[in-house]
Amino acid sequence: MAKKISKVVLLALGSLLSVVSCGGAGASSIASSSSPLSSVTSSAVSSGLLASSDETLYLAEMQKSFAFFIDSVSKDTTSPAYGLVADRARGNIASTASTGFGLAALPIGIKHGWISQSDAEARAKITLQNLLKLPTLKGFYWHFIMMDDGTRSSGSEVSTIDTAILVVGALIAGAYFGGEVETAAQTLYANVDWTAFLASHNGQSQFRMAYNVDTSSFEGYWDYYAEQLMLYILGAGAPNEAHRTSLTEYNGFTKNSGSYGKGNSFIYSWFGSLFTYQFSHAFIDFRGLVDKYGVSWYQNSIGASEAAYQWCIDKKGDYETYGEGSWGLTACDTKWGYNGYLGNQPRGWTSDTSYEANAACTIAPAGALGSMPFTPKYSLQALRNYANEPTLQGKYGYYDAYDLVHNWTATSYIGIDKGITLLMMDNYLDGTIWGLSKKVAGIQDGLSRLGFTEGNA
């Protein structure tokens, strides 16, 4: 039975606003939610991917998620951060990962008529040109950047994964627009020295997670399977051979397998959070590919998503929030703040602190919706349930998370959660981003150099 959200404050639905284009002249209006249905979703209905009753609500969540990336940007034309996307709605701090998702989102917006080709291209161009002027460490960017002046947000680290999301999003935009956008995207990519963040750890060559300028030290290792697959592919495909990584790094992280209940075995991540099985797939098409060891990462994410669904079904007696239409543990906001520990078994991490136990009551819509290509039946169940809950809906679609046990619903929007929702919902329909990824030489070269081939995946 679908779970209902109750006893929370109903926030008024905001109409989508006109926004100033990055070109600085005139206004670029996002189509209203009453605009005609997209030919893309209509085609999906005729092909059986969507039921006709799902078309309107499916398109509405995509359109409102896209609006986040149009509205939540630095619009000060004098700022070095002009065009960068905020980490959160109404925030003043940009996220490099949000910006990567925002760049990749532009072709989707054009396809559905939510932004004009010229406005989208101008936005991509100025964003990339400004990024190329910002300081980096061997091509790697701050995780968080102030939107008013382009400087480092206090305490922010130089982040490998967030830079990778920025770069792959830029490459997707470059593949779509060509010209100056593609040139800037390729320059951004060529500037990254992927080898600069490698170190030996437990006898393996591994990426470091970050560099802390306050302590002048590297932090963390990508030593366990998670969302970082794109790091190995981008590193191996680097256009500058001196900056290029190899199969050694791809072989260097732990790949433990397990299953939940009667489900299929899959390589699981450390925290078991759904986003770890989704992020690299948002930008890179792994369908039909296996690595040189026979691993299909696409099938792996199907297994992980099925386990995430079944976990919530089995636990719905323990947590009121869980159910057939309310599932998918992933990093998100909770009543106690942002929590990156949320996930299900199997996973590498075994700790069960009271902090995690309380937050485990929380479901983020991005969890199930970000797995749309992997578990469309279960993800569509969740979409229908969320659509019936007016208290979960706002200007940019579904709020970040909710928790029935503690009678709490977020009023926040996080860029990476709206990004994974938008990209994966669109990839399920017709693979816009996946198709563009096949045109990016760096992605295809990286896959080839790591030994990926077409197989039974």
Number of domains in the chain: 1
Residue 11 counted as domain residue: no
| The pLDDT of residue 398 | 98
| The pLDDT of residue 348 | 96
Residue 185 counted as domain residue: yes
Show the low-confidence residues of the chain (pLDDT under 70): 1-37, 352, 354-355, 457
Residues in contact with 99: Cβ distance below 8 Å, sequence separation at least 6, in sequence order: 83, 84, 85, 127, 131, 166, 169
| The pLDDT of residue 355 | 64
Residues in contact with 283: Cβ distance below 8 Å, sequence separation at least 6, in sequence order: 104, 165, 168, 169, 172, 230, 423, 433, 437, 443
CATH of the domain at 296: 1.50.10.140
Residue 50 counted as domain residue: no
| The pLDDT of residue 457 | 65
Phi, psi dihedrals of residue 403, rounded to the nearest 5°: -150, 105
| The pLDDT of residue 9 | 28
Residue range of the domain that includes 81: 62-454
Residue type, 442: G
| The pLDDT of residue 325 | 98
Residue 236 counted as domain residue: yes
| The pLDDT of residue 36 | 53
CA distances, 50 to each of 59, 180, 401 (Å): 11, 37, 25
Q: Is 143 buried (19+), middle (13-18) or exposed (0-12) by CB count in 10 A?
A: buried
Is residue 280 within 8 Å of 424, Cβ to Cβ? no
Distance CA 121, CA 135 (A): 24
Residue 2 counted as domain residue: no
Phi, psi dihedrals of residue 65, rounded to the nearest 5°: -65, -40
E strand or H helix that includes residue 385 = helix 376-387
| The pLDDT of residue 37 | 66
Q: Is 431 buried (19+), middle (13-18) or exposed (0-12) by CB count in 10 A?
A: middle
Is residue 283 within 8 Å of 234, Cβ to Cβ? no
Mind giving me the DSSP string for 326-373? B----SEEETTEEES----SS-S-----HHHHHHTT-B-HHHHHTTTT
| The pLDDT of residue 133 | 97
Is residue 332 within 8 Å of 364, Cβ to Cβ? yes
Chain Cα centroid distance, residue 336: 23
Distance CA 172, CA 324 (A): 34
3-state secondary structure of 218: strand
Residue 261 counted as domain residue: yes
| The pLDDT of residue 188 | 98
Residue 32 counted as domain residue: no
Distance CA 283, CA 226 (A): 15
Residue 365 counted as domain residue: yes
| The pLDDT of residue 14 | 30
| The pLDDT of residue 47 | 86
